[in-house]
Structure 1
Amino acid sequence: MAEQEPSSGRGGGIRRSSKLTFQRRLWLVRRLVRGPATAQELIDDARRAFDHDIYPANATIALNHDLAEIRNLFGCTIKRVRNGRYTLVDYGELALLDLADAELDTLSFLVTLFADAITPNARSVQGLLDRIIALLPSERRVVFEHAGPHVSVETPAMTSKPDPTMLERIRRNLGRHYLRFRYRSTHSPAQIEEEHRVAPYHLLVRDGHTYLDAVCLAGPHAEIVNRYVNYRVDRIVPGSLMVEPGRMPPAPPPRRVWQVRYWLAPPVAQQRDIALWFPGSTVVFFADGSAEITAETTDLWQARQILFRYREHCRVLEPPELVQMMRTSVQQMQEYYP
């Protein structure tokens, strides 16, 4: 039961304690910060959060009184919009969050980082950051707006981006439902749209592109069927995505793992501060300044992309498949640079 105390009115009734009333109003503020709600939704949510007696039988009157007191106490603006929902439009003096100067600098960096929409969830992150900023006291928002320079993160500009609605549908079905779509592959002419059926598992961002990490179950290229493939999401034809009703198995199939071994020349390795790009990397440094790295990878195509960054300073030693991929790429490059 809700805490009660005798009323001082003539009726000799009971009223809720000032402590419980304060807690109820503070909860209402938190609920409105979470998002808009109708009067009945606010009442129902309050009763679930406390107990059924948190509001009396004439709950709407009590709720309106609470909202009026919140407005008067904090100078905030709570409006009832056309759909009947109460919305916290302006926080006024509702300074529910304060941050130290170093944390404000970090917040400013995050705002800058996600302003370029470098990840599939960038819009959601931006919305969360805006919510945090709005909860700051006005004087701390001034400090935030004058935060110092940040560490810059360079990402390439893209000529195309994934369709946001399609991307969200993919995200909701990761690890849950099989997908079908038409795909513009680099293995086919530009005007050809390939049909693919996949088991989707992850979204990842690499070098400015968003990829769907999935097992290809059916497609036009036999060499990728029943293998993990990274599909560029912006190459999936918008409107072609179909979600199958059946559920996927709970555990993903195992990935093939290759041992990678490569040698780095002294100009790259002699300072002994090299990047370890692959899981399980071990390094042997030699007296001449070179180094040999042994590691693991589940993606030979990406391993080739990474090791080509070293240009003439890298020699791949194993596996044979990766050695051949490097050799083929070098031969093809020679055709462009005779």
Structure 2
Amino acid sequence: MSRGLLIDRFLDDSGWGGCGRDPLPVDCSFRRYERLTCDDGRHAMLMDAPPPMEDVRPFVKLARHLRRMGVSVPEVMAADEEEGFLVIEDFGDDTYTRLLARGADETALYAVAVDVLAALQVRPAAVDVDVPRYDTDKLLDEAVLFTDWYLPSVTGHAVDPIARIDFVDAWASALAAVTGAPDAPPDTLVLRDFHVDNLMLLRDRTGIASCGLLDFQDAVIGHPAYDLMSLLEDARRDIAPDLQAAMQQRYFAARRDLDRGAFMTAYRVLGAQRHTKVLGIFARKAVRDLMPAYLCHIPRLWRLLEQNLSEPALAPVAAWLAKHVPAEQRRIPEIG
């Protein structure tokens, strides 16, 4: 049976058949969305996440968990986890990205997002969910996307195996300041893609509930610095240094239990790791998945990465990059 017919059957069986269906623009994943509008006034979103490329089960599990934690995420109204179909609550069109493009109050939007993180992270039950740990092995697996996808896309050849081993060793040394630090804070639920593309303003809600979360199915258990860094060092958007500093101060005002120095070391190390990873992801999107639109963000990623390399814990990574990636290779790949 075709996927279109499977969708029709799922909607009929779940009570959403016969509703109007309006496709939404595709994102960086293989997921596809349609807005459902019914004659009886109901409205929702259809998520089409085709296996094996996508798996809706983590989304369902984490949506239920986060709702129990008091965080605004879409309610799952119907699910066919085997085929990869969900009907979820429609949060509307007011993504942070669209609002900021229209001139919305940047400080106010970011402040609520920071408050969401601080509130979630201090709830002990936030980690009571079966998700992977964001440990050194997982962080290293992500970092090598840079050597395996980004560098070949700019050099035209695979990275020397010995150089790749040295890259992993450099990152293992740097990450020890995060995963092995004796003064590290307790682990928390890390949402991983916490940035303006995945946040929404819910005008009918107040406080932290007014910030809706969309993309959280890849959540892990790890260091609390990761999501704050993901928000304030956005691969897709420039954020003024004074706003970054103000939001960091707001976060620390709510998290007085944290050692700021150790936290900011982890913030910069994890920031460098994320930017390194995303350079590889965006190159892979262009080369493997024929999605070159994200390559325009490569210069910003390099700027963010290079800013973080002044962190002493990142000295081995900075040295590796200085040796193996000259300035002329820190650029947008010429795909095709």
Give the shorter-chain TM-score range.
under 0.3
Q: Which has the higher strand share?
A: 1
Which of structures 1 and 2 has the bigger CA Rg?
1
TM-score scaled by length of structure 1: 0.21
TM-score scaled by length of structure 2: 0.21
